[in-house]
Amino acid sequence: MKRRLQVETEGPHKARLLLDEQDISRGVTGLTLRLGVGAVPTAELELVLLDTTRIDSLDTEITIPSATRDALVALGWTPPEEPA
């Protein structure tokens, strides 16, 4: 999917990452940008996620940090509806 990506830096340790003019900086831990002659630039984003490989309880509540949620929504993700 093609999106507008902007990186604004304020020195070596502070940057803002804007995706379609929405700041997703808080939800991103890394960015890999690939540029090539005659090729569309590609960006790979590393998001703040909780790595859970096994859950033994059906009563476990899974939460996504709001910054990660905002970044995922900006990328086109639709969050599931909350159970009633």
Those residues with Cβ within 8 angstroms of residue 16's Cβ, 6 or more apart along the chain or in another chain = 6, 7, 8, 9, 10, 23, 25
Q: Residue 74: enclosing H or E segment and its boundaries?
A: helix 66-74
The pLDDT tens digits of the residues spanning 30-76 come to 888 889 999 988 888 888 766 555 556 666 566 677 888 888 888 88
Q: CA quadruple 70, 72, 78, 82: dihedral positive or negative?
A: negative
Chain centroid to CA 84: 28
pLDDT at 84: 62
Q: What angle do CA 50, 55, 69 make, to 5 degrees?
A: 30
Residue 15: is its pLDDT beyond 90?
no
Model confidence pTM above 0.85: no
Higher pLDDT: 1 or 31? It is 31
